[in-house]
Amino acid sequence: MEKRRGKMWALMCLLLLNWVGDVSSLSVTVTDVECVYEYVLYEGDTISGNFVVVDHDIFWTSDHPGIDFIVTSPGGNTVHSLKGTSGDKFEFKAPRSGMYKFCFHNAYSTPETVAFYIHIGHIPSDHDLAKDEHLNPINVKIAKLREALESVTAEQKYLKARDTRHRHTNESTRKRVIGYTVGEYLLLVAASVLQVFYIRRLFSKSVAYNRV
Amino acid sequence: MILRSVLVLVLLVVVLSPASESLRFELQSGQTKCIAEDIKSNSMTVGKYHVVKPNEDQPLPDSHKLTVRVTSSHGNSFHSAEKVESGQFAFTAAEQGDYISCFWAAEHSPQITVTVDFDWRTGVHTKDWTNVAKKGQVNAMELELKNLFDTVQSIHEEMFYLREREEEMQELNKATTSKMFWLSFLSLFLCLSVAGLQFWHLKSFFQKKKLI
């Protein structure tokens, strides 16, 4: 009986200590500021993630301010910030446990869609090993393995979001190229027709006879 | 379109691979926030939501209740609830596409902020690991390793998906360049023909005017 309870307790501990917080690729249409909250259980947890501006209604010129990303700790201090980018990765250690705020700020007036992914990973340390006798050093290794896999998943999400962004860019480029070309043709035809009319007018009797 | 309305902050969750999230966001009274997820075909998805109580002891006032609706991109409704404090839904996605879950907070004269905790899992993470453990005398480590194995498989599938998307984009780029190639020939032809037409028309005009 004792052994069973011990095993169940170990399982609970394992699940608790290996608890990781994830936010899947979230897309936010940021008009001004958009914030997401995520709870960090342990101090020293690694908060990692990435974000990409996926879809923009307007074409970004070179002087576009980009999107700012600010992480605020429960105490109110800014832990991490990235300014004026179209997408980036981030990773830092949480200085304390509590509710962290992840905010996107759009300096420009047009709404932008931002896809992001946040992962909070915890690896049981030697201190936890000492505290709980049911925790095996192998659990630490498993936690490290899990974290490594999560980093691969995070990278995949980043690549996927970037792929979406590139696809949007390509489609918009294609539309614009075709549009501008057709517009160019119409302008060419219109200009030549106007030229002909003007020349005819120069030679018409009503304006001035043989003025040219 | 409502999702693109500047007044309404839209949350689009684009989950591109199996992922879990416990997301917390704030709703102002009368505001709508929608979360959309790109779910692969035949994958299980589970969602749980609840309003975070501002006061632990007191029951939640009516003003803080939510209206929730989960629809597919074709408009089929999978879950809807009016004026609830918490709830959950689960379904198997019949086809790949965007599934949207929208949250409304009812109108209230002093603007109140409703904090919603939303947990949406798809794919690998829908298996509730604590339940699986309780059922049998499953070794904790075995469970962890099984979880890792499933994660690795999902990473593998995701890589295939990314590869496919890259190929599609390559095809799109090729199509765009070939179109540009033919369009440049067309523009040359158009230019020459317009010039030729002008010349012919003006020549006949001047010959009629007996100037040549």
Q: How far is CA A188 from CA A10, A38, A191, B199, in A?
A: 78, 58, 5, 15
Q: In this predicted structure, what is the pLDDT of residue B122?
A: 76
Chain A CB contacts of B13 below 8 Å:
24-27
A65 phi, psi to nearest 5 deg: -70, -20
Q: Is A199 on the interface with B (CB under 8 A)?
A: yes
Strand order in the sheet with A67-72: A78-85, A67-72, A98-106, A33-40, B22-28, B113-122, B44-51, B86-92
Q: Compute the nearest-CA separation of A123 from chain B (Å).
A: 14
Listed in order, strand segments (DSSP E) in chain B are 11-13, 22-28, 32-39, 44-51, 66-72, 77-84, 86-92, 97-105, 113-122
* Structure confidence by residue, pLDDT tens digits, B19-63: 444 778 888 888 777 776 777 778 888 888 888 877 777 777 777
In whole angstroms, give the CA distance from residue A123 to residue A142.
Answer: 9
The structure tokens listed for B112 are: 């109140």
Q: What is the mean pLDDT of residues A182-206?
A: 89
Sort out which chain A residues have CB atoms less than 8 A from B191's CB and list them: 188
CA–CA separation, A85 and A107 (whole Å): 11
Question: What are the φ and ψ backbone dihedral angles of B39, each rounded to 5 degrees?
Answer: -105, 135
Whether the predicted pLDDT of A129 surpasses 60: yes
| pLDDT tens digits, one per residue of B63-89 | 778 888 888 878 888 888 888 888 888
Average pLDDT rounded to a whole number, residues A32-38: 84
- Minimum distance, in Å, between the CA of residue B196 and any CA atom of chain A: 11
Closest A-chain CA to B198: A196
Cβ <8 Å between A178 and B195:
no
Spell out which residues of chain B touch residue A196, defining contact as CB-CB under 8 Å.
198, 201-202
pLDDT digits (tens, 9 = 90+) for A152-174: 999 998 998 899 888 888 988 89
User: How sure is the predictor about B137, in pLDDT bands with cuts at 50, 70 and 90?
Assistant: low
Q: Round to the nearest angstrom and report the end-to-end CA distance of chain B.
A: 63
A138:B21 CB<8 A: no
Instruction: Using CB atoms, pick whichever of A111, A185, A188 lies closest to residue B6.
Output: A111
DSSP secondary structure, B8-54, as one string: S--EEE---SSB--EEEEEEETT-EEEEEEEE-TT-EEEEEEEEPPS
Contact state of B202 with A196 under an 8 Å Cβ cutoff? yes
Residues of A (22-81) whose Cβ lies below 8 Å from B: 22-29, 31, 34-39, 54
B41 backbone φψ class: left, alpha, beta (φ>0; ψ -120 to 50) = beta
Q: What is the pLDDT of residues B147-187, one digit of tens each?
A: 899 999 999 998 999 999 999 999 999 999 999 999 999 99
ipTM: 0.71
Q: Over range A79-94, report the average pLDDT.
A: 90
Best B4, B6, B23 member to test A by mutation, with max A CBs in 10 Å, is B23
Contacts of residue B118 in chain A, CB cutoff 8 Å?
none
Residue B209 confidence class, pLDDT cut points 50, 70, 90: confident
Q: Tally C-beta pairs within 8 A across A and B.
A: 177
Helix pair angle (A137-202, A2-17), 10° resolution: 30
Check CB contact of A139 with chain B, cutoff 8 Å. yes
